[in-house]
Amino acid sequence: MSDFLLFGVIAYLLGSIPTAVWLGKAKYGMDVREHGSKNAGATNTFRVLGKKPGIVVLSIDIIKGFVAVMLPFLFGVGEWNSDHLIEVKLVCALLAVIGHVLPVFANFNGGKGVATSLGVIIGVHPLGAAIIVGLFLIVFIASNYVSLGAIVASASFPVSIIVLFKETSIYLTAFSLVLSFAVIFAHRKNIGRLLKGEENRMNLFKK
């Protein structure tokens, strides 16, 4: 129980690092939550501040999720793929994403958790992460909708875990379903705008 508590708290605090908010205020004198979609995530940073800061935010948000789930292994909680380590990593994964969405360092007003979710998935199931990234890029490039790419990629995670990789761990399967639902739920307003044809587009290759 002490492992879950200790590393769970650390994971939440790592997830709570509001990269977009801190970078926007420190370098541009701007709170991204007051502009664009008013979301403290990488996509809104790209729109409000530009590509370079957007890439920085995206990278750090992915890294903080990855580090959050790898810390238990690095500190010797268990052997790689041991049941106990997997369980602790999954708890850390969920708390890191919760930290990003509800960050204690930014008045519990954060982002939608997409980049941080990718980071934790890389740490929990690298092959599943590769499929997610591939699908996201295909959908995003084809449609120019970041939200649509994120929704499709999120939905594919439990499908790949259950169907492609035939995962036997009930904990990992449950985690994939919960995380997928959480990310899709966070995009419920985007889904509404997509259905109405009102969602904002973003061209990946436009300067």
Chain centroid to CA 184: how far? 11
pLDDT at 83 over 90: no
Is 58 within a domain? yes
Query: How many domains does the chain fold into?
Result: 1
Domain hosting 189: range is 2-196
Is 203 within a domain? no
Q: Average pLDDT over the chain, rounded to whole?
A: 93
CA distance 6 to 26: 30
CA distance 132 to 150: 9
Q: Can you give the pLDDT at residue 82?
A: 86
Best mean pLDDT range from 64-68, 165-169, 202-206: 64-68
On whether the CB atoms of residues 7 and 71 are closer than 8 A, the answer is yes
Q: Residue 66 corresponds to which tokens in the numbers above?
A: 């990855």
Residue 151: CB atoms within 10 Å: 23
Is 201 within a domain? no
Q: Residue 146 corresponds to which tokens in the numbers above?
A: 């970041």
Which helix (DSSP H) or strand (DSSP E) does residue 110 occupy? none
Reported residue count of the chain is 207
Q: Can you give the pLDDT at residue 206?
A: 67
Q: 190: number of CA atoms within 13 Å, CB side?
A: 21
Residue-wise pLDDT tens digits, 8-49: 999 999 999 999 999 999 999 999 999 988 899 999 999 999
**With pLDDT > 90 as the criterion, what percentage of the chain qualifies?**
87
pLDDT at 207 over 70: no
Is 76 within a domain? yes
The pTM of the full predicted model, rounded to 2 decimals, is: 0.93
**For the chain, what is the radius of gyration of the CA atoms?**
17
Q: Positive or negative, the Cα torsion across 165, 168, 171, 174?
A: positive
Q: Which of 2, 186, 3, 7 is nearest to 95 (CA)?
A: 7
Is residue 1 very low, low, confident or very high in pLDDT (cuts 50, 70, 90)? Answer: confident
Q: Can you give the pLDDT at residue 202?
A: 86
Q: Where are the alpha helices (DSSP H) in 75-206?
A: 83-101, 114-124, 126-143, 146-159, 170-186, 188-196
On whether the CB atoms of residues 139 and 145 are closer than 8 A, the answer is yes
**With pLDDT > 70 as the criterion, what percentage of the chain qualifies?**
98
Residue-wise pLDDT tens digits, 12-22: 999 999 999 99
Q: Can you give the pLDDT at residue 78?
A: 81
Residue-wise pLDDT tens digits, 86-119: 999 999 999 999 999 999 999 999 999 999 999 9
Residues 6+ apart with CB under 8 A from 190: 147, 148, 151, 199
Is 67 within a domain? yes
Is 106 within a domain? yes
When pLDDT is averaged across residues 54-83 and rounded to a whole number, the result is 93
Residue-wise pLDDT tens digits, 155-177: 999 999 999 999 888 999 999 99
Is 206 within a domain? no
